[in-house]
Amino acid sequence: MASSLGIPLGVTTPVAITPAGTSPDSEKDAAEFQEHEEILSPDFLSVAQITEMLAEDVDGVEKKLAMFLNCKNLQTCFKEAILLDYYVSGFLWAKGMDFSIIQYSKFMTLLDMLLHNLKTLHMSLEDSLKWLGEVMAEIGPPHLQKNEKWSIFDIKQANAIIDYLKISLFQHYKLYEFLFYSTREEIVIGTEQTIETVKPSGGLFPNPLEEGISFDIYSAFIEPPSTLDTEMKGLDQEQGPEESQPEASASDTDALVGFTIEDIKSVLAQVTDDILIGIQENSKQIM
């Protein structure tokens, strides 16, 4: 990323030629200026990018940084999500400190350089702490052997930065080492199985699969009856009333069911009268 305050990586800054009559103090100041410009250069974020993010809320800062960092697989890449959270948390913390634009720039570059040293140079925790001490000595509060105009952070801000780095990066240094160095095995969350496909069925229910219920239960309770069985059952139902008539007549052994005693006497009297009348007529014809 292009630097707005420093120099790009891999570019050698030309050595300034001291004009005739220049004092040694001027040469010393020029050397200090060149050395100071190389501290935390190039800038991780440009002034325009920082200004743009300062106008955003938390979600806006996250989206802007994801775009600046070219994060394309946040939903599936755990590494990208962790790194984005690292930078977003740092920027929001700096926003709470009410830094100036140059302080934002140097602080975000400091966060990036710490990760760069860990990822590329495989710098240990002890070496990272030493490197941070050297950098803070250059950009932190002025001291007797340091020019005050090169100071970027005061004592309170420098201590706050160190405390923040302790809880954000150094406390989880081993986890970041694991993130960059360790190869993670691909977890297989699925398995291949061979199953029997459903065969076409003309009934209401498909045939059972091998891994389903047993065929006996299926044929007894689920399988629809075949066409032949349905036809035979229909014939049985049609012949059923005719064959049941003899059985019904045979079962009606008591013919007087439903008649009272008076009805029976009346019928018997009528039958007796008919018989007697018939006998009398026959006797007259004989005589």
Tokens of 169: 């990066």
The answer to whether 47 and 2 have CB atoms below 8 angstroms apart is no
Tens digits of residue pLDDT in 165-198: 999 999 999 999 998 888 766 676 777 777 766 6
pLDDT at 230: 62
The lowest-confidence range among 103-107, 227-231, 260-264 is 227-231
pLDDT digits (tens, 9 = 90+) for 134-159: 888 887 776 545 555 557 888 899 99
Q: How far apart are CA 146 and CA 139, in angstroms?
A: 10
Structure confidence by residue, pLDDT tens digits, 19-69: 444 454 555 454 554 554 556 677 889 999 999 999 999 999 999 999 998
pLDDT at residue 67, rounded to an integer: 92
Overall residue count recorded for the chain in this entry: 287
Sign of CA dihedral 240, 243, 246, 247: negative
| pLDDT at residue 48, rounded to an integer | 92
Range 213-240 average pLDDT = 67
Confidence (pLDDT) at 112: 93
Q: Whole-model pTM?
A: 0.52
> Rounded to whole angstroms, how far apart are CA atoms 177 and 169?
11
In the structure, what pLDDT confidence band is assigned to residue 18 with cuts at 50, 70 and 90? very low
Quote the CA–CA distance of 45 and 143 in Å, as a whole number: 28
Mean pLDDT of 218-236: 66
Q: For residues 171 and 176, what is the distance between their CA atoms, to the nearest angstrom?
A: 10
